[in-house]
A and B are shown apart, each in its own frame.
Chain A
Amino acid sequence: MIIEVNNVNKSFGAKKVLRGISFKAEGGKAFGLLGRNGAGKTTTIRIIMNVFRPDSGEVLLDGDPIERFGARIGYLPEERGLYPKKVIIEQLVYFAMLNGMEKKDAVSSCDKWLGRLGMSEYRDKKLETLSKGNQQKIQLITAVAHDPRIVILDEPFSGLDPVNALLLKDVVRELISSGKIVLFSSHQMNYIEEFCDDIAIIRNGEIALCGPLDGIKRSYPRDRLVIRSKDYERIAYEFRGTTTLGKSGEVMLTLPSPEDKNTVMKNVTEKYDVDEIKVFEPTLNDIFVEYAGGKRGENE
């Protein structure tokens, strides 16, 4: 299963919101859709879900144009909210039925998920009586109860305590391993880094960067070494002019060229007591700041 977004453009009035957005996401993998506020992430998601039609371009699922209600998409919107005054099981079943389930299956699936997330005791309570974190879990059920093929999670971890975040991580892993397409949108880079094999960074409605996260990281020049050692001050002194001090006990060394890295590594480990030495790879956070920020990003 593969979802392809091909050269999608979209304007609202005079404002061009999306300009030639293209990317692919495969089943069994998580795809991270990144971008600053207002970059066009939610609009992209809504176009995938067929809430808006693109001005040009197309969204294909396994090569065919995606059907609005046949595609079985599960969606956890960034703006959370259900019916506060309605009984939880009733609204869960309602949403599952709207997504194509029969009533009986909807009830059993919702009950299963309530149990899975430890929420069975709230089954017949009104939503408004729950804490914010628990309401989030209920909202998650609306995204997965109908066994969707594509799951779109917009900021899934915001507002969850560490225990619930762990629970959600399990659920996400399970979704990925069951072969679904999982589309992540988040500002919390650590989660994206943890789950996503591929990412796309959107800036001002354009794809600023797209591809496998591994490859992106490796594409950075491998001419910097991070050395952790109790002798870090001495190392910094020896390579003065090319070093910057990192966290306490760490020094970063910029090489004249990437080819020198093996020689320098060998020399340093022979000469000093080194705990760790590795080629510096940027974190997703660094990549994000570089691509999503920048001068054009500042103007938003």
Chain B
Amino acid sequence: MKQFKTVFSFEFKGYLKNKVFVGVTLFLVAVIAIVMFFPRITSGKTEDPGVGEAPVMLICVLPDPPDSVVTEAQADGAETLFGAEFAEYSVTRATSEEELKNLVGSGEAECGFVLHGFSSFEYYVKDLSMYDQNGMRAENVIREFSYVSALLNAGVSPENAGALVGSEIKGETVALGKDQSQNFFYTYIMIFALYMVILMYGQMVATSVASEKSSRAMELLVTSVDPVSMMFGKVLSACLAGLSQLVLIFGTAAVCYNFNSEYWQDNFIIGSIFNIPGGLLVYMFVFFILGFLIYAFMYGAMGSTVSKLEDINTAVMPVTMMFIIAFFVVMYSLTSSNPDNMILTVCSFIPFTSPMAMFTRIAMSEVPPAQIALSIFILAASVAGVGFVSARIYRVGVLMYGTRVRLPALLKNLFKG
């Protein structure tokens, strides 16, 4: 235990003294803080000149059919209707289609509608935003207007006609289980974070073992430390380093979000991420740590099989491959219409996929507590098992120099001491 503590603190201090590690962490913290402050900064700028000077929307009503005439009342009506619908614009009439196009083209007006009677229209805008819904809104305005006109023509009183057309229907969806659209984003983020952190730290653990071997510090280490303390010390310190990095980054994000939450109110995605339920956060933590450990042990073991740092990528390939496949299975299920499918259910009990798979299931559907407990139990037991096997591989692997140790040969020697 004393040796484990010594290894753990030496390795952890190694991370804290690693300039790249510290630099990247600080950089990410700064970036996330800037991102979280972004709406406050931008809204501050647009608010001042924004008052009183709404962007201009032009409308131009053309006769339909072309040989008919547009009455002043019709044109006024259209202007009033659009003005009511597009309150954020200052709606004015253009004298001709040409003038409208010119003004929109030169940027003096933001956008414009050319109406052909009330049956068709063209929407003019200089740069069409992805989120521009003016066309759709205009359609509704025009449809509503033609309904009212038709009702009036049929002898319905204006009040009744207005009430008929304008009656609003209130609908509300209540999810008794999980709201998948609500949970989707943090599930996605957790799985992505797990993916990145495991790949990054796994590689770091493997490199750390391999570089001790290639620098021959191993000769001394292997005679001074028992492999279990060594392996667990290394992997757990990497886990703590990774976790503190994430806590720092997401913690900064959460603090900055709370500080700026009023500016983020409209953003459904960000809102849902920062309103993650506490229970789910605990599960995230548990699966994150266990998932990290099981892969980090395997990376460490693989690192011990190479003599040269160059060979490390080839050596860790099987582990990386397995992890990427697990990642894609989970991602596929997450984005499919039924996240609680058969494959994901099976994967949620296999220790190498369960950290991501079970978390996804918990977040996206109702999972019986017994299943969750079983999954965590299998995973935790596997972490311990993989940890000890890794320590053995490490013990055998670290003293084998020369060509890369092949896995079958290694496994053969594994339990011979």
Interfacial residues, chain A to chain B (CB-CB below 8 A)? 12-13, 46, 49, 51-53, 68-69, 73, 75, 77, 79-84, 86, 90, 94-95, 97-100, 142
Contact A99 B224 (CB under 8 A): yes
B215 nearest CB neighbor, chain A only: A81
Least Cβ distance of A135 to chain B in Å? 11
Contact A68 B226 (CB under 8 A): yes
Residue interface bits B181-212, CB-to-A below 8 A is 1, else 0: 00000000000000000000000000000001
> How many angstroms from the CA of A83 to the CA of B13 in the assembled complex?
14
> How many angstroms from the CA of A46 to the CA of B224 in the assembled complex?
11
Contact A98 B7 (CB under 8 A): yes
- Given known A49-B223, A51-B223, A95-B224, contact A79–B417 (CB-CB < 8 A): no
Residues of A close to B218: CB separation below 8 A: 81
Q: Does B28 contact A (CB under 8 A)?
A: no
> How many angstroms from the CA of A95 to the CA of B224 in the assembled complex?
8
Q: List 20 additional A-B contacts (Cβ < 8 Å) besides A69-B226, A75-B220, A98-B221.
A: A13-B412, A51-B223, A51-B399, A53-B417, A69-B224, A75-B223, A77-B216, A77-B219, A77-B220, A77-B223, A79-B219, A80-B216, A81-B215, A82-B215, A82-B217, A82-B220, A83-B217, A86-B14, A94-B6, A99-B224
Contact B225 A81 (CB under 8 A): no
Interfacial residues, chain B to chain A (CB-CB below 8 A)? 2-3, 6-7, 10, 13-14, 212, 215-226, 399, 412-413, 417
> How many angstroms from the CA of A100 to the CA of B1 in the assembled complex?
11
Contact B215 A83 (CB under 8 A): yes
Residue pairs across A and B with Cβ atoms less than 8 A apart, 27 shown, are: A12-B413, A49-B223, A51-B223, A52-B417, A53-B417, A68-B226, A69-B3, A69-B226, A73-B223, A75-B223, A77-B220, A79-B216, A80-B216, A81-B215, A81-B216, A81-B220, A82-B215, A82-B217, A82-B220, A83-B217, A90-B13, A94-B10, A95-B220, A98-B6, A98-B7, A98-B225, A142-B220
Least Cβ distance of A92 to chain B in Å? 11
Residues of B close to A13: CB separation below 8 A: 412-413
Residues of A close to B215: CB separation below 8 A: 81-84
> How many angstroms from the CA of A86 to the CA of B212 in the assembled complex?
12
Main secondary structure of the interface of A (DSSP, over half): loop
> How many angstroms from the CA of A95 to the CA of B221 in the assembled complex?
8
Least Cβ distance of A232 to chain B in Å? 50
A98 nearest CB neighbor, chain B only: B224
Residues of A close to B219: CB separation below 8 A: 75, 77, 79, 81
Least Cβ distance of B223 to chain A in Å? 5
B395 nearest CB neighbor, chain A only: A51
9 A-B pairs with the lowest CB-CB distances in the bound complex, closest first: A81-B216, A77-B219, A53-B417, A98-B224, A79-B216, A81-B215, A97-B6, A49-B223, A94-B10
> How many angstroms from the CA of A83 to the CA of B417 in the assembled complex?
27
Residues of B close to A51: CB separation below 8 A: 222-223, 399
Least Cβ distance of B35 to chain A in Å? 34
B229 nearest CB neighbor, chain A only: A98
> How many angstroms from the CA of A49 to the CA of B3 in the assembled complex?
17
Residues of A close to B212: CB separation below 8 A: 83
> How many angstroms from the CA of A148 to the CA of B399 in the assembled complex?
23
Least Cβ distance of B63 to chain A in Å? 82
> How many angstroms from the CA of A68 to the CA of B216 in the assembled complex?
20
Least Cβ distance of B150 to chain A in Å? 82
> How many angstroms from the CA of A77 to the CA of B212 in the assembled complex?
14
> How many angstroms from the CA of A12 to the CA of B417 in the assembled complex?
10
A48 nearest CB neighbor, chain B only: B223
> How many angstroms from the CA of A12 to the CA of B402 in the assembled complex?
15
- Given known A51-B223, A75-B223, contact A98–B216 (CB-CB < 8 A): no
Residues of A close to B413: CB separation below 8 A: 12-13
